[in-house]
Structure 1
């Protein structure tokens, strides 16, 4: 056989970073290194020709010499096709190599618990989801199972976390902080306050979400900043500003169950700010 009709030895290709145990690369770029050797007494490799399809399509490209590197940067599955041609114009058989690239972890969506405030013992479920458009989701685990109740029996600022991993082993984590507070149960109609001897009587309890009385000497009530009480009757059609109800602080020193406060009428002597004390 005339040596001018003998093609080069089959070209070969390797991936610069060995895929992980799941068969995926997680670093971009991932290089496909293509090489070829001519047979003995041959004319030498003149060029490498390659193209790519699927996730990262590439038109046919010639690279002079016996080696070429193809950078894969697009997530997904890319197939690289390559040949080698010698100086006599002989071309090696067509070969392919597949690269699976996924550089991003799953996307986690927490529908609830959203950052916000929930009442003590309020039933709140935690629906969440994990998606991965490239290699798919391998695991998606939250503090509680999907759509199960979260903890609202601990006052303060608990957290809810979801951890996920895709089939390429990329991890993702998402955490939401929410607040849990007592419910303030008013024992009066704030639109029609009771007045006694020129004083406005405010009475309330500390409750859970169902209105169960949790008032205790171990719980402190803290009055929030508000406009001063407007003592005495208002003119017809006028609005009487009233102080907003106090709030229960789970982190404050604790005293006082059910509480009342009063505001003097205009004819009374000026008094210090209202104080909270147990109502009878």
Structure 2
């Protein structure tokens, strides 16, 4: 950059001599009187008629107080690098110009940007120390889901017809991790008072990170009856005969929990140490639909009986599989000879 300084602004040197009026000349003025930024020294020379000379100097200082111009690159949005809570996206470069033709551009951008929004300040500086700045926003979003592992499934024997209380300690807790700090774990599906009904209850564990990303895992809590046999499973029955399979549904302490409204349904037969299996057959019509019949005279307060036919079986140890109210896989054994 240059500045026009006319001769009228520069002025005229004055010179005197003891004999004659001297001649004054000037050197150092740029072409067209266009002075560059900084200091330019002009030399004035006075000479008399006999060749005696004298010189004087004038300094012309052009001060640059015009700041540069700068434009920040566009804002940037990126996602965290998997397994980390930061990103290192390409953010581009600012563009700058100055009247001097020379400008340096710097920024305070970090090597890696944390989750959230970071303001990057770009600064342009010219040789005279004038500065200008512009801002760029770099937003890093966390889209990575947490990881969660549910506690182990739990199997408990009922303590009453309502089920059983399973403590929080017995249920355990889910373990969760995330690429960013602050992940919380919640659960749903736990009954009031931790009183779980007989059957299978699904607990859903949810991990939620600070960005609202979620992951889920499930745990099953299975409550079943204890089976109290009212026959001797080691006493073999004659092949072709009928075995009166008698039992009660008990609590963990042996309390009889049998009830007429509870449906005990025979499902299948399997033979020990063999691949043979079959469908239970009742003798007569005492067990329609393969359901055990409730008998209030069995046990202390009633139980169940299934008149099992052995005519299509073979000798050996067999297992009778049954469900209770359509749930579970209960197994009892009997012998055939």
TM-score with structure 2 setting the length = 0.44
1:106 Cα deviation after fit: 2.2
Per the alignment, residue 196 of structure 2 pairs with 152
Q: Is 1:133 equivalent to 2:179 in the alignment?
A: yes
Aligned position for 1:105 = 145
Q: Give the Cα separation in 1 of the matches to 2:253 and 2:89.
A: 58
Q: Retained in 2: the 8 A contact 1:219–1:255?
A: no
What do residues 182-211 of structure 1 show as CA deviations (whole Å, max 9, x unaligned)? 33332334233578xx65442211223443
Q: Distance in 1 between matches of 2:152 and 2:119?
A: 44
Deviation per CA, 1:23-48: give whole Å up to 9, x if none.
xxx99997746533323x25387988
Distance verdict in 2 for CA 1:187–1:36, change over 3 Å: farther
- Output the CA distance in 2 between the equivalents of 1:140 and 1:17: 29
Structure 1 unaligned segments of length 5 or more: list them: 20-25, 56-74, 230-238, 246-251, 267-273, 275-280
TM-fit CA distance, 1:163:
2.3
For 2:246 and 2:277, how far apart are their aligned partners in 1? 13
- Say if 1:259 and 1:79 are closer, same or farther in 2 by CA, change over 3 A: same
Q: Which of residues 173, 187, 195 is equivalent to 1:142?
A: 187
The equivalent residue for 2:76 is 16
- Whether 2:215 is the aligned partner of 1:172: answer yes
TM-score, length basis structure 1: 0.51
Unaligned 5+ segments in structure 2 are 1-36, 39-62, 80-84, 281-289, 295-302, 313-319, 321-337
**Equivalent in 66, 83, 97 of residue 38 of structure 1:** 97
Structure 1 segment 254-269 matched on structure 2, within 5 A: 256=294, 257-263=303-309
Structure 1: how far apart are the matches of 2:278 and 2:247?
A: 13
- 2:255 maps to 212
**Distance 1:175-1:93 versus aligned 2 partners, 3 A rule:** farther
Counterparts of 1:54-203 in structure 2 under 5 Å? 54=112, 100-113=140-153, 118-120=156-158, 121=163, 123=166, 124-137=170-183, 139-143=184-188, 152-155=196-199, 157-177=200-220, 179-193=222-236, 199-203=242-246
In structure 2, C-alpha distance between the alignment counterparts of 1:31 and 1:105, rounded to whole Å: 24
- How far the C-alpha of 1:129 sits from its partner, in A, is 2.4
Contact 1:14 1:34 in 2 (8 A): no
Q: What is the CA–CA distance in structure 2 between the aligned matches of 1:142 and 1:113, rounded to whole Å?
A: 14
Equivalents in 1 of 2:261, 2:67: separation in Å? 91
* Structure (1 or 2) with the larger CA radius of gyration: 2
8 Å CA contact 1:200, 1:264 repeated in 2: yes
Structure of greater relative contact order (alpha carbons < 8 Å, 6+ residues apart): 1
Provide the rounded CA distance (Å) in 1 between the counterparts of 2:148 and 2:92: 35
Query: How many angstroms does 1:218 deviate by?
Result: 0.7
Report the Cα offset of residue 150 of structure 1. Answer: 5.2
- Between the two proteins, the alignment pairs up a number of residues equal to 219
- Indicate conservation of the 8 Å contact 1:159/1:176, yes or no: yes
